[in-house]
Amino acid sequence: MWDEVDTKNIITMLEKIKKNMYFPQVISETEMILVNKNNEIYQWEIDIFFVPWRAFSFDWKRLWRGKWYYDRFLTKKKYNTSTKVGLCYDFQIFEDIPIETHDISVNHIIYA
């Protein structure tokens, strides 16, 4: 999306060092899955999620787009211990942002 960090450089770097990568694919109004570039579905644990977000706060809160796809996905048992890295621009970081009880926070933020 226009307000999300471009991840092409990260993807290129990870491909060069032969890392397996999977990308979110929305399959319904409430659910998404992970697929690789060959459209194969991934079902196991994930070490790290890189996720572009709309806004972050300094205490790791994040603001999504409002449909809770990632909240539902990241609370699944096989993913809830994964490291979550938010990607954003510096203008998307705020002192504080409102969150709801279902909102999943990140472990790290990388900003451009």
Helix (H, G, I), strand (E, B) or coil at 6: coil
pLDDT score at 65? 62
Q: Which of 93, 83, 76, 70 is nearest to 24 (CA)?
A: 70
CATH topology of domain 8-111: Rossmann fold (3.40.50)
Report the distance separating Cα 88 and Cα 79, nearest Å.
22
Report the distance separating Cα 96 and Cα 41, nearest Å.
36
**Span 37-58, mean pLDDT?**
86
**Span 73-80, mean pLDDT?**
82
* φ and ψ at residue 42, rounded to 5 degrees: -100, 135
Q: Report pTM.
A: 0.79
- Higher per-residue pLDDT: 51 or 85: 85
